Structure 1
Amino acid sequence: MERMQGEGEVDLEQPSPLTDKEKMMIQDSWRKVFQNCDDVGVTILVRLFVNFPSSKQYFSQFKNIEEPEELERCAQLRKHAHRIMDAINTLVESLDDSEKVASVLKVVGKAHALRHKVEPVYFKILSGVILEVLGEEFPNVVTPDVAAAWTKLLATVYCSITAIYEELGWTKLSTTTG
């Protein structure tokens, strides 16, 4: 495994590339998930905001909404959930095109670092929420092997995003230990 240094505080291990079998498992499972993309996306974001309320600070439109039911009905949240699901869909459809994947991640990374000023750790947190929701909502689809493939993909996404943040000179890649 290739190791990447993050500001001397964190070691990010770049996962090995996805195998053809892992790509196929991700794509097959995603087809079933994407049929309900809006509902799944909303579930993911509501879970993120309920379990990690600090993540709402980046969303002026709904950062003060406390009730999960109200979050679910919020048009801006639904719109952002749809954008997230579309981005994941593009990644999943492009697993055999590393340039396309890199391009999508660069756009997402740059926007979140420069425009939205989102701490990169939230990509790691979101990855965990995505895995949790997919496992709960699609237990017959997201088997342990499929979950392992998704874990590897999302770890790769996180490593790529943090590398983009570093290239942009982002200095808060982790909380300082001390």
Structure 2
Amino acid sequence: MCSSRSTLGFQMERKQGEVDHLERSRPLTDKERVMIQDSWAKVYQNCDDAGVAILVRLFVNFPSSKQYFSQFKHIEDAEELEKSSQLRKHARRVMNAINTLVESLDNSDKVSSVLNAVGKAHAIRHKVDPVYFKILSGVILEVLGEAYPQVMTAEVASAWTNLLAILCCSINAVYEELGWPHLSNSTS
């Protein structure tokens, strides 16, 4: 079980409680790995559109998440966000990182390495509160479920939920190892 700490006084915009299920993780089964990889192959065919849809949903539903993006943090309109070349570039990076994880599910060292690098970059360089990984994970599940209902069956969605819980727990562990609360008070 993974526990997560968020910054004191942080108010997260929440629609329902959609990220609570990302608190618990367990190792992926072989069946879950296959389901995740098979479903991701279909999603990744449209990686640009899917990535943009995920980030636009994140920024519209959780506007405080835009604070980390100087290039488009003042854009309020969803259509304008969709057109932002900087948002599109970041969406591609997010989708490529997920793709690397999914392709590497049989290689725990590679998965750990990628998550460690992502966690360190977001903690040290970008100073992103780790709660946003849980929020993003909830948005990913929501968008994929809506955009790919034939692919994201209940069983596949459950496997993805477990993978994203593992991701959140791993990122949180990196943040804790780095002493995250102290990093948030440092200057760049």
Whether the 8 Å CA contact 2:119–2:175 is kept in 1: the answer is yes
Greater relative contact order (Cα 8 A, min sep 6): structure 1 or 2? 2
In 1, the alpha carbon distance for the partners of 2:125 and 2:101 equals 22
Q: Residue 119 of structure 1 aligns to a residue in which SS?
A: coil
Q: Show structure 1 runs of 4+ deviating over 2 A.
A: 2-7
Give the counterpart of 2:31 among 10, 15, 21. 21
1:68-111 superposed Cα distances (whole Å, 9 cap, x missing partner): 00000000000000000000000000001000000000110000
Structure 1 partner of 2:41? 31
With the length of structure 1 as denominator, give the TM-score of the two structures: 0.90
Structure 1 partner of 2:168? 158
Aligned residues with identical type, % of pairs: 72
Q: CA deviation at 1:5?
A: 7.2
Aligned counterparts, 1:93-172, within 5 A: 93-171=103-181
In 2, the alpha carbon distance for the partners of 1:58 and 1:37 equals 22
User: Where do 5+ consecutive residues of structure 2 fail to align?
Assistant: 9-21, 183-188
* One-letter amino acid of the counterpart of residue 50, structure 2: V
Q: Does 1:55 align with 2:65?
A: yes
User: Where do 5+ consecutive residues of structure 1 fail to align?
Assistant: 173-178
Q: CA deviation at 1:14?
A: 5.2
With the length of structure 2 as denominator, give the TM-score of the two structures: 0.85
Q: Does 1:78 align with 2:71?
A: no
Cα separation, partners in 2 of 1:95 and 1:132, compared to 1, 3 Å: same
In 2, the alpha carbon distance for the partners of 1:13 and 1:129 equals 15
CA RMSD, Structure 1 to Structure 2 (Å): 1.7
Cα separation, partners in 2 of 1:139 and 1:3, compared to 1, 3 Å: closer
